[in-house]
Structure 1
Amino acid sequence: MNLHIETITQLVTFGIACIGAVLGILNTWRNFRSDQVRLRITPEHAFLPGDQRDFLGIKVVNTGSPSITISDVGIELKGNKRATLSCSVLNGYQEGSLPQRLASRESAQFIIPNNKLSDLKQERLKGVYVRTACGEVFKGTSDAFRQISMWINQGKYS
């Protein structure tokens, strides 16, 4: 009888120790991930109030925990080249300029004027990029970007 109780006690202790080990690993992973800078970059069609033209909009969402500062936005070209373009920033309904600060879970939309894009007619466009103040580069592309890229190459985007 006494041996049976000792075995059950050891099994319960071992089970609790395993649960503690798994929770410790999960907590370490969560802390590691929370310190990383993560941005979701989505190129999209953008329309300004009172303007019928279609602009290239770059939506940036800070999905990480730390606040970040966006210092540069542009188009990624074939051959690892980048074209930095001046753009307007729409954060909510307020217009701003770069650099733009984003807290955790905040977003901003960057609008690139059509005349800046028409200058890239002869280039092969791969996607958009966003550079943070600490030098990290995040890239994105979408079906909307591929459509706008096709329009630029055909001369239909001005």
Structure 2
Amino acid sequence: MGAVLGVMNTWFALDRSRLKLRVTPKHAIPVGGAPSHLQFCIEIQNLSDFAVTIEEVGVFYRGTKERGFIRPFLPNGEQWPCRLEARSSITVYSEKPSSLPGRQIRAAYAKTACGRTKTGISGALKQIAREGTSY
């Protein structure tokens, strides 16, 4: 019994030290005084037990290692790069990303200050990829 608890405690300790980000690309609908060109957003949730700094967001393209960096617009005057505390989230807004000639968008990504990159896909991103036009 003690050996099983020891293995479980080790596994839980290793799991707590892992980076866990959820990256969710979405459509943004500008309302009120929001700029009308901001029609895309990426929600980044820090599910880790520690704070992380997000340095870069954007999209990856199919069949290539190229990525499309997004110049984020942050609500409430927040600064970029942004620091996400444990169990917090932020949504960054931008224009809709466009596909490269002959390449569709594959996934959205968020890159941390320590160089780790996490990706995410959604129905909204798949729709944007199918449209494949620049906005």
Which TM bucket (shorter chain)?
A: 0.7 to 0.9
TM-score, normalised relative to structure 2:
0.86
After superposition, the Cα gap between the structure-2 partners of 1:95 and 1:49, relative to the gap in structure 1 and judged at 3 Å, is farther
Bigger mean CA offset, 140-149 vs 45-54: 45-54
**Separation in 1, partners of 2:57, 2:77:** 16
Asked if the contact 1:88/1:97 (under 8 Å) is kept, the reply is: no
Q: What RMSD, in angstroms, separates the aligned Cα atoms of the two structures?
A: 1.9
TM-score (normalizing by structure 1): 0.74
Matches within 5 A, 1:20-59: 20-50=2-32, 51=34, 55-59=39-43
Q: Report the Cα distance in structure 1 between the residues aligned to 2:47 and 2:14, rounded to whole angstroms.
A: 14
Aligned residue type for 1:72: E
Q: Unmatched 5+ residue regions in structure 1?
A: 1-17
Moved over 4 A (4+): 51-54
After superposition, the Cα gap between the structure-2 partners of 1:54 and 1:111, relative to the gap in structure 1 and judged at 3 Å, is closer
- Asked if 1:133 corresponds to 2:118, the answer is no
Query: CA offsets, 1:38-86, max 9 Å, x none?
Result: 1001111112332566711101100111100000001111212111121
Larger radius of gyration: 1
Q: Is the 8 A contact 2:38 2:93 kept in 1?
A: no
What SS does the corresponding residue of 1:24 show, helix, strand or coil? Answer: helix
User: May I ask how many residue pairs the two structures share in their alignment?
Assistant: 131
Task: Extract unaligned runs of 5+ from structure 2.
Answer: none
Secondary structure of 1:57 counterpart: strand
Whose relative contact order is higher, 1 or 2, with alpha carbons under 8 Å and at least 6 apart? 2
Q: Secondary structure at the match of 2:111?
A: strand
Equivalent pair of 1:40/1:61 in contact (CA under 8 Å): yes
